[in-house]
Amino acid sequence: MPTSIRRIAPEPGPVRILAVATLVNMVGNGFYASVSMLFFTRSLGLSAQTVGVCLTAAALLGVPSAIPVGHLGDRLGTRRVFIALQLLQAVFMAALPLVHGIGAFVVVICGVTAGQRGALAVNGALIGQVGPPEHRARTRAYLRSITNLGVSLGIALSGFALQADSQGFYSALIWANAFSFVLTAMLLLRLPDDRQGTPKPKIRGTEALRDRPYLAIAGLSGILSFQYDVIAIALPLWVVEHTAAPRWLVAVLLFLSGAMVVLCQVRAARPVVDVPSAGRITRRASIVFLASCCLFASAAGTPAVMAIVLLTLAVLVHSLGEVWFAAGTFELSYGLAQDHAHGQYQGTFNLAAGLVRTTSPVVLAQLCLTWGRPGWVTLGIMFSVTGLTVPPVARWAERRRRAEQPTRGSDHLPLG
């Protein structure tokens, strides 16, 4: 392996296995992301409105699956359940090109979405087990960079299918995504069995839902997660409709944001080694979001060149906050969970934060696109106030965790 790659690659062991599996899985997801809407409308003959309704219904039905699937991972083993979910997604994904009619489409897309939601919860628990606690945030950061890289590669490689606009090519890429799930499952078989070791205590299926400080942290994280949609939803419309910047700048800014995540996520996570440091870096991220919102606001009403400079600076600042937020929020979601129920807690965190984030498009549309400059400043203040609340709530959650945590050994998988 070349020296430059060796420096950034994890040591041989569970983390490297999970990294390779993540890369394979995300390349397949990139295939799917690039052609799915065109396949649904052009190949299956569904209207865009019908697809939107079906995807929304599937998302609403799939969200609650995170908690029971996470709980199942705690009882049967995280690795085993995660592998089963990969194979389940492979089956439903492979069935997509074969469906005829809206009824079959709804059933299959609900299966795909439920598998995705469940896998997200179990994956969070699995990441926390592949190394010692002090390396958790760094491992998650590395895998997040791999995720962005893999999706980008998949999208880039699918360009030929988009150009050909052929049902055969669309189907081939969807089947390639299905195969990526199978290959991912095969790679995950190389991970150690996490069921080995100290027997786990009996777990209540609603334990995480009763943990009020943990739910509070999840809710605060959900509000701060609006920052993802600032880039995905608010930024493109703000640039095109409210500034003098050229439209092509949107693509440049989106690429710049993604590149910042890939290049900076691992380094940004290095200071995060426990819950207190996670709370501090999340608070720091929220202040940075306030600064970026002010920069976005200032781009309106300026000449094109100045707007380009301000928007570019805003995205750079915002991306710094994003990588800090991602590092902090993962450590909070894992570090504040009870050791014997990480799957259930991850599912609960994803559910609570996800439900809060569902309001993001409406809030951003009102604040950023309707109110304009004052709305951007209001959004930034909302971010900063939320972030300032995180450390004290995290301390409350940590006190509760220590009071209720059973005495037991470490849950992380062996490194060799």
pLDDT at 408 over 50: no
pLDDT band for position 196 (50/70/90)? low
Cα torsion 367, 369, 375, 380: sign: positive
pLDDT (average), residues 293-320: 97
Structure-token match 């409406």, residue found: 362
User: What is the reported pLDDT for 323?
Assistant: 94
- Name residue 44's amino acid: L
What domains lie within the chain, and their CATH numbers?
12-188 (1.20.1250.20), 208-404 (1.20.1250.20)
Cβ 299 vs Cβ 240: under 8 Å: no
| Nearest residue to 113 (alpha-carbon basis) of 135, 93, 131, 128 | 93
| pLDDT, averaged across the chain | 85
Q: Per-residue pLDDT averaged across 359-366, rounded?
A: 87
pLDDT level of residue 1 (50, 70, 90 thresholds): very low
Query: At residue 51, what is the residue type?
Result: V
Tokens 């504040």 belong to residue: 336
**Per-residue model confidence (pLDDT) at position 340:** 76
Q: What is the mean pLDDT of residues 175-180?
A: 96
pLDDT at 404 over 80: no
For residue 313, the tally of other CB atoms under 10 A from its CB is 16
Among 372, 365, 136, CA closest to 243: 372
Question: Exposed (0-12), middle (13-18) or buried (19+): which is 325, by Cβ within 10 Å?
Answer: buried
- Rounded to the nearest angstrom, the gap between the alpha carbon of residue 98 and the centroid of all alpha carbons in its chain is 29
What is the Rg, in whole angstroms, of the alpha carbon atoms belonging to the chain?
A: 21
Q: Is the pLDDT reported for residue 67 higher than 60?
A: yes
Please report which residue ranges of 96-135 form alpha helices under DSSP H.
Answer: 102-129
The reported pLDDT for the residue numbered 280 is 96
Q: At residue 416, does pLDDT exceed 50?
A: no
DSSP secondary structure string for all residues of 5-53? HHHHSPPTTHHHHHHHHHHHHHHHHHHHHHHHHHIIIIIS---HHHHHH
Q: Does residue 146 contact residue 25 with C-beta atoms inside 8 Å?
A: no
Tokens of 119: 């896998």
Ordered DSSP codes for 182-197: HHHHHHHTTS--TT-S
411 Cβ partners below 8 Å, 6+ apart? 128, 129, 194, 197, 339, 342
Span 244-266, average pLDDT: 87
DSSP character string of 346-401? HHHHHHHHHHHHTTHHHHHIIIIIIS-HHHHHHHHHHHHHHHHHHHHHHHHHHHHH
State yes or no: pLDDT of 391 exceeds 50.
yes
- Of the ranges 63-77, 87-101, 204-218, which is most confident? 87-101
Token pair, residue 221, equals: 């994280």
The answer to whether 116 touches 62, Cβ cutoff 8 Å, is yes
Q: Is the pLDDT of residue 247 over 60?
A: yes
Task: Give the pLDDT of residue 406.
Answer: 53
In this prediction, residues 120-125 reach a mean pLDDT of: 80
pLDDT band at residue 5, thresholds of 50, 70 and 90?
very low
Q: What is the pLDDT of residue 204?
A: 59
Torsion of CA 11, 13, 16, 22, to 10 degrees: -160
pLDDT band at 74 (very low <50, low <70, confident <90, very high): confident
Segment 22-33 shows an average pLDDT of 91
Q: What percent of the chain has pLDDT over 90?
A: 38
